[in-house]
């Protein structure tokens, strides 16, 4: 379990440095209105990854509401969230937590802040790279790219061999016919964000 960072105490929040437009910026990016959250913490109770993150999901909402921009964009929670929607199902206000976290990830990448979990971002990029090339994921290529980046060839060897023996890893990728349509997804957006 990571060290609990907790929200800064009242004495440490400098009211002159708060970005109170952050809530509307997140809503514009993700379409999620976090002002409906009344901090019942049901989302934190239901999140399988809560123990590994630095802030529970409702606290990330609080960071944004307080305008603590860097704390929100640089926390590990936004990268460790797998978008499983367990919390959203339990949320009495129906807040799309996965969409909210995705909005924060987009802004974190766009603003080139310190990424709390760079391995996770790199893994996302490796997955997207194979989708751009083949139209669908190629697990072996994803693993090799990730391993080469980390220069870590043997830590998961047993798992890799087991997957291979069960036919879960294919040497050659299978390509879809409409690859051109898939590649359009990777066209840079007007704001400069490229999803790869
Ligand atoms: S469950 Fe919904 S309302 Fe409750 S703290 Fe989480 S996001 Fe907010
Ligand atoms: S969507 Fe994210 S925050 Fe919500 S339960 Fe799943 S991992 Fe946790």
Mean pLDDT of all residues in 53-60: 94
Among all bound ligands, the one having the nearest atom to the CA of 58 is 1
Is ligand 2 within 6 A of the CB of residue 122?
no
- Top pLDDT among 13 and 166 is at 166
Domain with CATH 1.10.1060 in the chain: 10-110
Mean pLDDT of all residues in 142-152: 91
Tokens found for residue 32: 């999620």
- Write down the H helix ranges in 37-187: 42-46, 57-65, 69-73, 77-80, 86-90, 97-110, 118-134, 139-150, 157-165, 179-184
Tokens found for residue 195: 């999803």
Mean pLDDT of the chain: 87
Closest residue by Cα to residue 32 from 108, 109, 98: 98
126: pLDDT strictly greater than 50: yes
Q: Note whether 160 and 143 are within 8 A (CB).
A: yes
Q: Is 193 in a helix, a strand, or coil?
A: coil
CA of 85 to the centre of ligand 2 (A): 6
Tens of pLDDT, residue by residue over 77-96, are 999 999 999 999 999 999 99
Ligand 1 atom closest to the Cα of residue 46 is 1
Angle subtended by helix axes 22-30 and 97-110, to nearest 10: 110
Longest dimension (CA), the chain: 59
**What pLDDT is recorded for position 174?**
87
* Spatial distance between the Cα atoms of 75 and 8, rounded to a whole number of angstroms: 13
**DSSP, res 157:** H
Outline where DSSP puts E strands in the chain.
none
What are residue 155's phi and psi, to 5 degrees?
A: -65, -30
Is ligand 1 within 6 A of the CB of residue 39?
yes
**What pLDDT is recorded for position 3?**
44
Whole-model pTM: value is: 0.83
- Top pLDDT among 73 and 193 is at 73
Asked if CATH classification 1.10.1060 holds for the domain at 10-110, the reply, yes or no, is yes
Q: Which of 33, 35, 53, 61 to mutate to test ligand 1, by most ligand atoms within 8 A of the CB atom?
A: 61
CA of 33 to the centre of ligand 1 (A): 12
**Residue 4 binned pLDDT confidence (cut-offs 50, 70, 90):** very low
Mean pLDDT of all residues in 23-41: 94
Is ligand 2 within 6 A of the CB of residue 44?
no
The region of weakest confidence among 8-12, 35-39, 82-86, 125-129 is 8-12
* Spatial distance between the Cα atoms of 188 and 149, rounded to a whole number of angstroms: 24
């Amino acid at each position: 379990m990571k060290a609990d960072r907790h929200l800064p105490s009242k004495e440490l929040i400098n009211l002159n440095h708060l970005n109170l437009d952050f809530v509307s910026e997140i809503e514009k990016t993700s379409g999620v209105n976090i002002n409906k959250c009344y901090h019942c913490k049901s989302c934190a109770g239901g999140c399988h990854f809560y123990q590994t993150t630095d802030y529970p999901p409702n606290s990330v909402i609080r960071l944004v509401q307080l305008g603590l921009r860097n704390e929100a964009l640089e926390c590990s929670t936004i990268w460790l969230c797998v978008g499983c929607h367990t919390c959203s199902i339990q949320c009495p206000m129906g807040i799309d937590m996965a969409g909210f976290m995705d909005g924060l990830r987009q802004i974190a990448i766009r603003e080139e802040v310190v990424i709390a979990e760079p391995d996770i971002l790199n893994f996302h990029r490796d997955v997207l790279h194979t989708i751009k090339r083949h139209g669908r994921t190629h697990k072996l290529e994803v693993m090799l790219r990730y391993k080469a980046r980390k220069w870590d060839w043997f830590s998961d060897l047993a798992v890799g061999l087991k997957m291979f023996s069960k036919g879960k890893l294919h040497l050659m990728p299978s390509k879809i016919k409409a690859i051109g349509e898939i590649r359009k997804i990777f066209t840079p957006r007007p704001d400069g964000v490229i999803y790869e």
